[in-house]
Homo-oligomer: A and B are copies of this chain.
């Protein structure tokens, strides 16, 4: 079924204990789209870049089945740019540079051909922009999944809550769930957040896996214990892409299918962190993914 992805397409520059990159392709919608492309095609993309964004990177997205009709290219502005440095534990990072550029005035224009979308993934963006996308769709998608972050809880909480009331699934990390709900217990946090709108809540816990709450049930997905996390940038978005890509492929929205989608997302995220940026995501084979899923299943084989 058709999948619409909205979010940033951008440049990242990354410093880790293992090395550093110049500007490379990044952005929530980039990771989401590449990850989802292993499950469903085409992927309709709504995003904005500047005159400095390389045609080769746009071609890369197209090669992965991304429909770029909704990708705006601003002739007089530069692309969104983020530079960050990871600490030794790879679990925390400092933002060194944030240049909003084109993202500062992003107006998410939906091509007419996108109006029939069944699955909508709202990557991390200002909640007002996410809400505008929902309002501009003439037919409500079967499922709307939203990602967000603590920055919007600090700076745009009311708008965030308005958008939250319109979506089916929210994907955030454990600290964000605690901040949004004011509850330390994730079970209590989930109940409060579900009362704000989303029927389903995914709480991402990085190396500790992920929890899915919905239909009065809880699913616990492990993370694959890794030798090394090379670069965590984009892991959460890659997770979201695998999650919604699988749901769009299956075209089913129930707790078991969603749990399986969480596993697909976890498997995709475990690839993402093995190399800088999108490097590991751009040429995976079906065999690679199946083998990784097998590793996840082995992790819980005693059940």
Contacts and interface: CB of A to CB of B under 8 A. Distances in A.
Interface in A229-255: 229
Interface stretch (A52-60, A74-82, A152-160, A180-188): A180-188
A138 interface: no
B218 A263 contact: no
A302 interface: yes
B220 A299 contact: yes
A226 interface: yes
Contacts of A227: 185, 187-188
A286 interface: no
Contact of A260 (B90, B205, B263, B302): B302
Contact of A228 (B185, B208, B256, B300): B185
A259 B298 CA distance: 11
Interface residues of A, number: 35
A214 interface: no
Given A225-B211, A226-B185, A219 B297 contact: no
A149 B254 CA distance: 43
Nearest to A298: B217
B297 A186 contact: no
Given A188-B227, A225-B220, A303 B303 contact: yes
Interface of A: 88-90, 184-188, 205, 207-209, 211, 217-220, 222, 225-229, 256, 259-260, 262-263, 297-303
19 contacts: A186-B225, A187-B226, A187-B227, A188-B227, A188-B228, A209-B220, A211-B225, A218-B299, A219-B299, A219-B300, A219-B302, A220-B222, A220-B225, A220-B299, A256-B301, A256-B302, A259-B301, A300-B300, A300-B303
